[in-house]
Amino acid sequence: MNIRPFLLAGLAAVALLSACHKGSAVDPEGQGAVRLSVIPVWNGAPFDRMQVYLNAADQREQIQLVKFYLARMTLVAPDVEHELFDADLFNITNGPETRILPVPAGDYQQLRFGLGLPPDLNHTDIATVPVNDPLGNNSGMYWTWATMYRFLLFEGRFDNDPQATGLLPFQFSWHTGLDTLYRERDLPLALEVPAGDTVDLPLYVDLARFTTDGADTLSFADIAQFHGEVQSLPLGIRIADLEQGAFCTP
């Protein structure tokens, strides 16, 4: 039996398969898009800003503002990375915020981003930025005393009595910022972006995890106000670490 045709066919198949290996997962010729949705949840369930939740510190909590920068949002394939945006501002107080972003077609296995602004952006001269830009004055995110940006505004009301009813008597206001509190996150992903198509890329933010990761729990009774004060920085670091852990992909 002449096996030469089979050998040739086999070699051709190997060559074809090689062309499809993971190192070539991104097709630079084909353009697709992702629909990035940053979605607030509370312990995995849809978040409702009008609802009073019981947090891990056994406090009644109602969230009134969740607004933050995400930076260097990057899709990672085995041999290539594609940055979706440099920095953008998300306000998810009233529900998900979505961006449709072009991306080369391919198979992406990781989502990498920063919570806050990396130092090179954090030290932007705000007077040079158009006011309606995410980094402009109208973002309401600039810390004039630090001449840097706030990374995250997390505000609301709370009650130390978990059994109480009615209006929540106290306010909390956690504002992170300063280069020290910039955090990066890598999340696993299984995202195939076909050429000419737009695929969903949900990014969940579990607001219940802003105060706990299971091991570490922060109580508003310990710190209701954080605005970058040096004496409170150890608490600020815990806040930033917890916020970092609150992000997840499906």
Partner 1 sequence: MKTPKRLLVLLPALVLGVMACRKDDPEPPTTTTPPDTHQPPPYDPTPYALVLPANLPPMAIPPDNPLTVAGVRLGRYLFYEERLSGNDLMSCATCHAPALAFTDGHAVSTGIDGIAGTRSAMPLMNLGYAHFFFWDGRAITLEQQILQPVPNPVEMHQSWPATMAKLQADTAYTDLFHAAFNTTTVDSLLVAKAIAQFLRTLVTGNSDFDKAVRFEGVMTPEAQQGYQLFQLEGGAVGQIIPVAGSTPVVGQGGADCFHCHSVGGNLFTDEQFHNNALDASPTDPGRGGVTGDPYDFAKFKTPTLRNIMLTAPYMHDGRFATIDAVLDHYNDGGHASLTVDPFMKFTDPEEQLGLTPEKRQQIKAFLNALTDMEFVTNPAFQDPGPP
φ/ψ (deg, to 5) at 106:
160, 180
When the beta carbons of 130 and 214 are compared against partner 1, the nearer one is 130
CA distances from 186 to 47, 145, 171, 224 (A): 24, 31, 32, 29
Among 184, 39, 41, residue whose Cα is nearest residue 110: 184
Considering beta carbons, is residue 28 or 140 the nearer one to partner 1? 140
Query: In a 3-state reduction of DSSP, which class is residue 43?
Result: coil
> Which residues here bind partner 1, judged by CB under 8 A?
64, 126-132, 136-138, 140, 142, 144-145, 155, 158-160, 167, 169-173, 220-225, 227, 229, 231-232
Report the length, in residues, of the chain: 250
Cβ distance to partner 1 smaller for residue 113 or 220: 220
- Return the number of the residue (40 or 104) whose C-beta is nearest partner 1: 40
- Return the SS3 of 244: helix
Q: How far apart are CA 124 and CA 144, in angstroms?
A: 12
